[in-house]
Amino acid sequence: MTLDTKEKKSLSDIRMEKALEFLQDASDNFGRGRFRTSTNRAYYAVLNAARSLLILEGLNPETHDGIITMLSLHFIKKDLLSVEIVKSYKILLARRTDVDYGDFDSITDEEAGHSVAMARNAIDTIELLRRRLIGEM
C-alpha cells in the first residue's frame, strides 16, 4: 500500500476513531453485564488503535498475528512502545477468541473489566505515540 503523508494521517485518524468507538462499546457492554461482547469490543478497540499507528509507517498487516509482528519490529524494538502493549494485545486476542468461538467458555466480570482496562491503557499509550509521530511527519 503506497500512501502519501496526508493519506496516512487521514487513515490513521479514521482507525483511531473506530478504536475509541469500540472502547466505548466495550465499556457500555461491560456496564450492562454483557461480558463476552465487552471483551470482544475491547480487543477490536486495541486492534484498530494498533492499525492506526502502523499505517503511519505505511504498514497494513492483514492478520492478527501480523499486527503483533509489525508492532514488535517497528515500535517495541525501537523502544517507542513498551512490550506490555503486545502482551495486552495477546491476552485480549486470546480472550476474544475464547468468547467468540468457545461454546462453553465464559468470562467473569473481573476478566471482562480487566480487558476493558487493558484496552483503555493500550489505546492511551498508542494515541500518545501516534500524535507524536504525526507531529513529526
> CATH no. for residue 68?
1.20.120.330
DSSP designation for 32: T
**Domain encompassing residue 15:** 5-136
pTM: 0.94
Q: Is the pLDDT of residue 44 over 90?
A: yes
Residue (of 104, 103, 89, 110) closest to 33 by Cα position: 110
pLDDT of residue 1: 62
pLDDT tens per residue across span 75-106: 999 999 999 999 999 999 999 999 999 877 78
**Other CB atoms within 10 A of residue 11 CB:** 17
Q: How many structural domains is the chain composed of?
A: 1
CA distance 119 to 117: 5
Instruction: With H, G, I as helix, E, B as strand and everything else as coil, classify residue 56.
Output: helix
- The whole-number pLDDT of residue 105 equals 74
Q: What percent of the chain has pLDDT over 90?
A: 94
Give mean pLDDT, residues 1-23: 95
